[in-house]
A and B are shown apart, each in its own frame.
Chain A
Amino acid sequence: MSVFLSITFSGVALGAIYFLAASGLSLIYGLMDILNFAHGLFMTLGAYAGWAVAVHLPSSIGAPGLFALSVVAAVLGGALAAGITEVLFIRPLYGRPVSQILVTIGLDLAVVGLLLGGFGSNSVRIPVPLWLIEATKVGSANLPNVDFLAIALGLAVLFSLEWFLRRTRYGIIIRAGVENRDMVSALGIDVGKAFTLVFVIGGAMAGLAGLLYAVVFSGDLVSPLQGDSLLIFAFIVVVIGGLGSIRGSALAALIVGFVQDYTNLYLGGHSGFAEVGNLSVVLLLALVLEWRPRGLMGSVA
């Protein structure tokens, strides 16, 4: 029973991180038709921003305070990277969607190359407050506190995003634009601003996802190649959930998190396949695409 509880819990935590990574991607694709390969870069940069802040500020602030600042730095770092990317590299290529995708690939490679040069493939460690490393006893299971954090932040972002999309003018513009970009322009609205906004929001969430992933699943270690390996899963979640749908991403993220954790648990030991969790996620993708090419809740094919 306790095994069931802790696996479920870590599955949800993983799902929360996938959601953070995937929802931005989903919006960006839904609104702008761009497969943003630089998203992995935003995640990595967010994690590094969190690390840099925690390491360079005086420790007198105290571990929890430093960590809170790390989180803020990760969000801002991701947002800034995304904003710069959109303005400098995506905008000039308006009307050339394939080129836009290619440019995100190039950026990803180039900047990761830079990070590899600066840090090598070694990892750096993010300082975290003590309670994050500990676990809380729930029933007979020991649930890691980091999982609580991930889930809490994931939910917070989900609700904020929903609020933003439903209650603010730009939220309405984005929802309309995902459906029919041209008509939004034909109503006299400058969609370009919405583009930048969507990129920045996506980047902010990606930065947070990067930091959380490092803390929850990577032992507080940050390395240059992290974001890209997370990116693949983010893409899979986006396609399964349906391009352009936030709720779809949330649902798919949960499912993928569960599938990965459960298959790892139950099948991992037997076949000698340590990575069977990953394999089953890919299988899931193939299944979903065969059965429902638009994804679980997709409105754009």
Chain B
Amino acid sequence: MKSALKVTDLQVAIEGSHILQGVTFEVPVGGVTALLGRNGVGKTTTLRAILGLVPRSGAVQVLDHDVIEWPTFKIVRLGVGYVPEDRDVFSALSVEENLRLAESGPDARYNDIYQLFPELKERARQRAGTLSGGQQQMISIARAMLNGWPLLLVDEPSKGLAPRLVSEFADVLERVAQHATVLLVEQNLSVVKRLAKDIVVLDHGTVVHTGSARDLGDAQLVRQLLGVAGVA
């Protein structure tokens, strides 16, 4: 398997807005690849399109399978964990039930999860809707990791979180990336610099730059691509 994920000429149009106008990139096996770009450029839409959550055209290859015609649940069952942008935990369900839902088989790694996030075990019966943002994010990441799947799509895990938590989650992702491939959408460049091996940059609905994470050291490039000053 050469690449964990391969996207070719991905197009997405929603309510008259042509968001993705032909996105093409590859994610090599292992490690973290960061998907970057200005606000609203279509990073989240790209992840959702890969999973088939929005109508799309083009070609998508996940773990060597052509999945453009597949329903979402079938794509996920190939072994794709998803951490969505807004966490999307089920607030009416308990923490335990949230995790249970994500179970795909008998060898779910609850021990690992509870070791990483002991709070989840303490609050197992608590309704997820009553948890703090950080705790909900723990659920969201935990259930993506639960089955030890080979590909993780992670959308802005640090959004709205205190810096200490951000650092903790970065640790977690680093561990995960030792055994799996991670496609990470992230605005926080220090996290990206710490975790990512390769980067893919989106703008105007297409890919405008692919390269290694070292490119982020070039402040001028960063400002041109992302419109922000580089992170110290």
Report A113-144 residues with CB < 8 Å from chain B CB: none
Report B61-107 residues with CB < 8 Å from chain A CB: 71-73, 76-77, 82, 84, 88, 90-93, 97, 100-102, 104
Q: How far is the CA of A186 from the CA of B82 in the complex (A)?
A: 7
Residues of B within 8 A of A189 (CB): 73, 101
Cβ of B231 under 8 Å from chain A: no
Q: How far is the CA of A173 from the CA of B104 in the complex (A)?
A: 13
Q: How far is the CA of A241 from the CA of B130 in the complex (A)?
A: 23
Cβ of A191 under 8 Å from chain B: yes
On whether the beta carbons of A185 and B73 are closer than 8 Å, the reply is yes
Most chain A CB within a 10 A radius of its CB, from B76, B101, B102, B104 = B101
On whether the beta carbons of B73 and A188 are closer than 8 Å, the reply is yes
On whether the beta carbons of A187 and B51 are closer than 8 Å, the reply is no
Q: How far is the CA of A182 from the CA of B104 in the complex (A)?
A: 17
Cβ of A172 under 8 Å from chain B: yes
Residues of A within 8 A of B97 (CB): 172, 176
Cβ of A179 under 8 Å from chain B: yes
On whether the beta carbons of B53 and A185 are closer than 8 Å, the reply is yes
On whether the beta carbons of B73 and A176 are closer than 8 Å, the reply is no
Cβ of B143 under 8 Å from chain A: yes
Residues of B within 8 A of A188 (CB): 73, 76-77, 102, 104
B residues at A contact (CB < 8 Å): 51, 53, 71-73, 76-77, 82, 84, 88, 90-93, 97, 100-102, 104, 143
Q: How far is the CA of A184 from the CA of B82 in the complex (A)?
A: 11
Q: Which of A175, A178, A179, A186 is in CB contact (< 8 Å) with B51? A: A186
Known: A183-B88, A186-B51. A176 touches B93 (CB 8 A): yes
Residues of B within 8 A of A182 (CB): 53, 72
Known: A173-B101, A189-B101. A180 touches B73 (CB 8 A): no
By secondary structure, the A interface counts as helix
On whether the beta carbons of B101 and A176 are closer than 8 Å, the reply is yes
Cβ of A218 under 8 Å from chain B: no
Least CB distance from B161 to A in Å reads: 20
On whether the beta carbons of B100 and A183 are closer than 8 Å, the reply is no
Q: Which of A169, A184, A187, A299 is in CB contact (< 8 Å) with B92? A: A299
Residues of A within 8 A of B90 (CB): 175-176, 179-180, 183
On whether the beta carbons of B93 and A175 are closer than 8 Å, the reply is yes
Q: How far is the CA of A183 from the CA of B88 in the complex (A)?
A: 7
Least CB distance from A10 to B in Å reads: 34
Q: A172-B101, A176-B93 are in contact. List 14 more A-B contacts (CB 8 A).
A: A172-B100, A173-B101, A175-B92, A183-B90, A185-B71, A185-B76, A186-B76, A186-B82, A186-B84, A188-B77, A188-B102, A189-B73, A190-B71, A191-B73
